[in-house]
Amino acid sequence: MARPLRIQYDGAVYHVTCRGNERREIFKDDSDRKRFLQTLLKSLASYTVKLYGYVLMSNHFHLLLETPTGNLGEFMRHFNITYTGYYNRRHNRSGHLYQGRYKSILVDKDTYLSVLSRYIHLNPVRIKSMERMPDEEKLQYLLQYQWSSLPGFLNRRKKEWYIDYGMVLAEYGGDTDKARRGYRKRIAAELAEGIEIKESILGQSILGGEAFVDWVTDKYLKGAKDRERPSIKDLHRHRSKDDILKVITKETGKSLDDIKRGKGMLRQITMELLYRIGAVKGAEIGRLMDVGYTSVSQERRRLHESMIRDKKIQSLMNRLESKCND
């Protein structure tokens, strides 16, 4: 399998993650976490990188950042080496701290910046020990979680000077109290509905709409020989909404009206394919199916649960997905 690609250009936005070697802890205590953030701030300043959000977990971290001068590799190399050196000295160890190289997803800022920030901020409650915790308790846990940029997105008084809040909050009205109320409302809703990003990532490396993927492909991938860059055919292209519906109708004999009236498995599959293959947003799928945005997320989640239990549903889903990708 080809390594995930590295595309760098001025103004590129990335979701960056690093996991501890053998999934071990990269923070022993709060002193480590504080030093990590201090190292991060110095690296941000040295390499002129913007930070839109972060979350520190016990054995990994998430960063959402922009590189105005197209220097992600230099920034991450310096940052990771500096923190690893500190950690090894303090804990009397040697060798690699992280499991391989850092992972980076190139992000379509105009389409996915806000949703990805929420995905990152929900990380502290997406662990096995919290699966059965009521959503209200999860929200309270997030509000009190110290090692995240979320507090400043919910409360102006908790802003951190090195976080750029305005860009993420732009779809709610900017860096205002009203926008923060909107952001908090979405966070609370997605605790119940779930929020999915992985299925929308193309070629292990790009999260964006069709126009963004086309632009990246044309500008950075055509003719590229770099072994870290997958061939263009490895980037799954989004299919149009109409094409997906035509495939479903042809394969099942059901029209869109039939699917909407059915209110069952086929409607769930249609929602899933529109989201996964067509990159159609939940709100648009809801309008198409005459249901609310929340119902779309709930129906897709039910489908995922059903596919685990029922191989026939999984088989139908796989067959329709394959036809859509032909």
Tens of pLDDT, residues 48-73: 899 999 999 999 999 999 999 999 99
Tens digits of residue pLDDT in 291-323 = 886 788 778 777 877 776 777 887 888 788 777
**pLDDT score of 323:** 79
Decide if pLDDT at 87 tops 90.
yes
**Running DSSP on this structure, what letter comes out for residue 66?**
E
Q: Which residues contact 171 (CB under 8 A, 6 or more apart)?
A: 114
What domains, with CATH codes, occur in the chain? Answer: 12-198 (3.30.70.1290), 239-326 (1.10.1750.10)
The mean per-residue pLDDT over the stretch 162-173 comes to 91
Tens digits of residue pLDDT in 223-235 = 665 544 544 444 4
Residue 138 burial (CB count, 10 A): 20
SS3 163: strand
Residue 293 burial (CB count, 10 A): 16
On whether the CB atoms of residues 49 and 67 are closer than 8 A, the answer is: yes
The mean per-residue pLDDT over the stretch 77-105 comes to 92
- CA-CA distance, 282 to 271, in Å (whole number)? 8
pLDDT band at 136 (very low <50, low <70, confident <90, very high): confident
Decide if pLDDT at 29 tops 90.
yes
Q: Is the dihedral of CA 153, 159, 162, 166 positive or negative?
A: positive
**Helices 109-121/177-193 angle, 10° precision:** 70
Query: What average pLDDT is seen over the chain?
Result: 85
The mean per-residue pLDDT over the stretch 134-161 comes to 91
- CA-CA distance, 238 to 263, in Å (whole number)? 25
- List beta partners, residue 51: 65, 163
**pLDDT score of 279:** 66
Tens digits of residue pLDDT in 244-253 = 888 889 888 9
Q: What is the largest CA-CA distance in the chain?
A: 66
**What stretch of H or E contains 53?**
strand 50-56
- CA-CA distance, 289 to 29, in Å (whole number)? 49
